[in-house]
Structure 1
Amino acid sequence: MALLRDRLSNEKNLPLDGKRQRFHSPHQEPTIVNHIVPLSDERRYSVSPLFHTHYVPDIVRCVPPFREISILEPREITLPEAKDKLSQQILELFEACQQQVSDLKKKELCRTELQREIQLLFPQSRLFLVGSSLNGFGTRSSDGDLCLVVKEEPVNQKTEARHILTLVHKHFCTRLSSYIQRPQLIRAKVPIVKFRDKVSCVEFDLNVNNIVGIRNTFLLRTYAYLENGVRPLVLVIKKWASHHDINDASRGTLSSYSLVLMVLHYLQTLPEPFLPSIQKIYPESFSPSVQLHLVHQAPCNVPPYLSKNESNLGDLLLGFLKYYATEFDWNSQMISVREAKAIPRPDGIEWRNKYICVEEPFDGTNTARAVHEKQKFDMIKDQFLKSWHRLKNRKDLNSILPLRAAILKR
């Protein structure tokens, strides 16, 4: 806890100790990975025999620990040139709102310290930073998503995961109450612990064994740095969707993850594709069978993609809105980034009578299943159509997204 107290008193200068690690991109950026911090026996809390025998096996024996990687600053990627007003507005919004290296460092520092604490409860567990914080599509205001892996096999979310999170929640409320605010155990279909880190002021969601979330974090990170226009385009579309209240899965609209997949799918399906399917080109690097301790290496195997598509950011934004407003067949098609095309909807219960079908690239589930009301679906379609018409006529981003307000929100 001495380290935690030091952190509270020294928030402005957040030095990262030599054991903390970075991330890789196709441009040879280093990669943040999560490693096991060995704990002596006397530091371990006792847990019930159930967890020793079934819930938390010694995964170290079957999964090698991560190698430590020295910390290096991520390399900046050259942004596309903007020769028109709309493209310039998109770039200015991106540069004002994109997640900074300092933001990521704060989240990673919190992850490192929490992993050390949680390993008092579950000595062989690992804590992964996942989602927008690490996949390249984060903003300055992005929440942090954490995945606690207690074993590489699936866990029952109703029983095992809830029990594990109950212990973690209790630990947060007692031992860590000095720097964690408002820890809440949310007993949803996939239970989470929500909390706020007092030092970084970041809101975190922590789940148990959402392995696919770790895999898709590095898949999306690869796409994010494959072409230099991808991140600005995704950021402006997320901001647009949030402004129009269609970016909240908890309220029956689109999750940010689904929106990102929709953008990638659109870029893959242009007459001159802006992006390929990297799962098709590099199947071994992005196979669901790749062991977790190797997943972070996948982006290193993918060089930058040189597309022949010379569309500017303004044209791509207009095309995205038009595609989903007038071209995509919501009734019979499924969005598939894995296949780099729209494919017929499967006939399984996961897809039947669903308004929007977006395939999760690894486990094949529907990431847009939260859109289960026709009213919300119609609202989403209506925003695509109205925004396309407004932007086409005015060629000013303010016509669909007030830039000053969006920048203030970061």
Structure 2
Amino acid sequence: MFPNSILGRPPFTPNHQQHNNFFALSPSLYSHQQLIDAQFSFHNADLSRAVSLQQLTYGNVSPVQTSTSPLFRGRKRLSDEKNLPLDGKRQRFHSPHQEPTVVNHIVPLSDERRYSISPLFHTHYVPDIVRCVPPFREISILEPREITLPEAKDKLSQQILELFEACQQQVSDLKKKELCRTELQREIQLLFPQSRLFLVGSSLNGFGTRSSDGDLCLVVKEEPVNQKTEARHILTLVHKHFCTRLSSYIERPQLIRAKVPIVKFRDKVSCVEFDLNVNNIVGIRNTFLLRTYAYLENRVRPLVLVIKKWASHHDINDASRGTLSSYSLVLMVLHYLQTLPEPILPSIQKIYPESFSPSIQLHLVHQAPCNVPPYLSKNDSNLGDLLLGFLKYYATEFDWNSQMISVREAKAIPRPDGIEWRNKYICVEEPFDGTNTARAVHEKQKFDMIKDQFLKSWHRLKNRKDLNSILPLRAAILKR
């Protein structure tokens, strides 16, 4: 399937042993029937939404010429091939004289097969590829075991489930993002042949919604990259490439020169907004950690989605404005479920240290969820009670002044004395690198607003037992 975006959910069952050569055929955006015929094997895929703009195709631009490979003929079909039968057209991609494109591999091409960089991108600086990500070995498509949603016997739990089912990211949404990622990797490897592009964040970790943006991480080497110099230079070249060669299907590309620089853009084909960073390796690791938690217990995803919607509605879910990031909110939910008198979640980093070690090479990270079976908790609380408990925990029980939220330890632990933690209003430990994911909350006014929303919402929901009292359902569903 997609090596960096295994769509299975733990535990994985190898029901189908087949290879996916779909993206090795053509850079065009395929019709509905071609998508159905392709070897995706998704269950109940909503293909009516898989292709929103069929008249647009990826890669409909002038090819970059190679300097040494006579076999590379660009990405447009030659005129003498237009009238070949379908089998004849496909034969060119599978002939022994040319290797098919391998989706999402880091491809260390030999010297005679490397693409030259267009004169537009000539520069005196070339990133030092010290330890590039090793080539990914092809694996069979792994079909997930479907997880049944929890029962809802009360009104509040039923409202949470209805919101979840209406707003959760669909397979077709993920497929559109993955198609864009595949095409962009193909293009970026013209600039950096040994690079690899990962889809990360909510799109892949199990907590995405229909309206979730796409997050991409470009890995040029498995070592730290200086974000002020190397990453910014790499993104400058990528941004220029987007503005020129890819202007037919990438619009509004912006280079944001922040502490961690990114390129923001919109894909015209999928109509998805993307953020692309360089070498944010911890983001790749925590994507698969969160994905494991998401499918470990069937109450986790609905609870996280409703809390993210609630936080967004009350304007406390925007790190750029000094409140909580979605990542911090997810960790807060997981921590709460770990600290109940009868826990609903364990610390999987403690139970499976070999699967979630920060030292595991990136081309193996996606395999981690395969080793974790479902967690059977004795806690049978319904979704409504868990939502109430979450609000109460952070409104009245958690000690913000002296405690730090730690999913890695599955408990609240004393704040460290380091400068990153000193005088911080909210401390949420990043499970891999130990940084504070809530460092954006640096104003007391914003911190007080966050605490106040927890307290007010807890009182309202406790008295009315109606989700509309803290989150208007109709508006939330319309936003998706």
Q: Does TM, scored on the shorter chain, surpass 0.5? A: yes
Structure having the larger proportion of residues in helix? 1
SS in 2 for 1:107: helix
- Once the two structures are TM-superposed, the CA of residue 135 in structure 1 deviates from its matched residue by 0.2
Is the contact made by 1:58 and 1:124 (CA closer than 8 Å) also made in structure 2? no
SS in 2 for 1:120: helix
User: What is the aligned-residue identity percentage?
Assistant: 98
Is the contact made by 1:22 and 1:32 (CA closer than 8 Å) also made in structure 2? no
- In structure 2, what is the Cα distance between the partners aligned to 1:90 and 1:10? 57
Change (3 A) 1:6 1:402: farther
Change (3 A) 1:104 1:62: closer
- In structure 2, what is the Cα distance between the partners aligned to 1:290 and 1:379? 39
- In structure 1, what is the Cα distance between the partners aligned to 2:151 and 2:125? 52
Is the contact made by 1:20 and 1:71 (CA closer than 8 Å) also made in structure 2? no
Change (3 A) 1:50 1:105: closer
- In structure 1, what is the Cα distance between the partners aligned to 2:143 and 2:421? 43
Change (3 A) 1:19 1:199: farther
- In structure 2, what is the Cα distance between the partners aligned to 1:47 and 1:24? 26
Change (3 A) 1:316 1:14: farther
- Once the two structures are TM-superposed, the CA of residue 162 in structure 1 deviates from its matched residue by 0.1
- In structure 2, what is the Cα distance between the partners aligned to 1:239 and 1:22? 49
SS in 2 for 1:59: coil
Is the contact made by 1:26 and 1:299 (CA closer than 8 Å) also made in structure 2? no
Change (3 A) 1:37 1:386: same
Is the contact made by 2:130 and 2:223 (CA closer than 8 Å) also made in structure 1? no
SS in 2 for 1:185: strand
Unaligned runs of 5+ in 1: none
1:290 maps to 360
Q: Could you tell which deviates more after superposition, 16-25 or 183-192?
A: 16-25
Is the contact made by 1:221 and 1:299 (CA closer than 8 Å) also made in structure 2? yes
- Once the two structures are TM-superposed, the CA of residue 25 in structure 1 deviates from its matched residue by 35
- Once the two structures are TM-superposed, the CA of residue 63 in structure 1 deviates from its matched residue by 4.3
2:374 maps to 304
C-alpha offsets along residues 2-56 of structure 1, whole Å, 9 cap, x if unaligned?
Answer: xxx9999999999999999999999999999932356686885656999999987
- Once the two structures are TM-superposed, the CA of residue 103 in structure 1 deviates from its matched residue by 0.4
Using the size of structure 1 for normalisation, the TM-score is 0.89
SS in 2 for 1:31: coil
- In structure 2, what is the Cα distance between the partners aligned to 1:157 and 1:373? 25
- Once the two structures are TM-superposed, the CA of residue 66 in structure 1 deviates from its matched residue by 1.1
- The structure with the largest alpha-carbon Rg is 2
SS in 2 for 1:55: coil
- Once the two structures are TM-superposed, the CA of residue 68 in structure 1 deviates from its matched residue by 2.5
Change (3 A) 1:44 1:25: closer
Aligned CA RMSD, in angstroms, stands at: 6.3
Is the contact made by 1:22 and 1:69 (CA closer than 8 Å) also made in structure 2? no
Is the contact made by 1:355 and 1:374 (CA closer than 8 Å) also made in structure 2? yes
Using the size of structure 2 for normalisation, the TM-score is 0.76
- In structure 1, what is the Cα distance between the partners aligned to 2:196 and 2:285? 15
SS in 1 for 2:449: helix
SS in 1 for 2:251: strand
C-alpha offsets along residues 181-234 of structure 1, whole Å, 9 cap, x if unaligned?
Answer: 100000000000000000110000000000000000000000000000000000
Is the contact made by 2:185 and 2:197 (CA closer than 8 Å) also made in structure 1? yes
Correspondences of 1:193-272 after superposition (within 5 Å): 193-272=263-342
Is the contact made by 2:108 and 2:135 (CA closer than 8 Å) also made in structure 1? no
SS in 1 for 2:265: strand
C-alpha offsets along residues 282-303 of structure 1, whole Å, 9 cap, x if unaligned?
Answer: 0110010011110000000000
SS in 1 for 2:228: helix
Change (3 A) 1:81 1:27: farther
Change (3 A) 1:324 1:28: farther
- Once the two structures are TM-superposed, the CA of residue 76 in structure 1 deviates from its matched residue by 3.2
C-alpha offsets along residues 228-273 of structure 1, whole Å, 9 cap, x if unaligned?
Answer: 0000000000000000000000000000000000000000000000
Unaligned runs of 5+ in 2: 1-74
- Once the two structures are TM-superposed, the CA of residue 65 in structure 1 deviates from its matched residue by 1.1
Q: Could you tell which deviates more after superposition, 373-382 or 61-70?
A: 61-70
1:326 maps to 396
- Once the two structures are TM-superposed, the CA of residue 358 in structure 1 deviates from its matched residue by 0.2
1:401 maps to 471
Is the contact made by 1:19 and 1:68 (CA closer than 8 Å) also made in structure 2? no
Is the contact made by 2:121 and 2:237 (CA closer than 8 Å) also made in structure 1? no
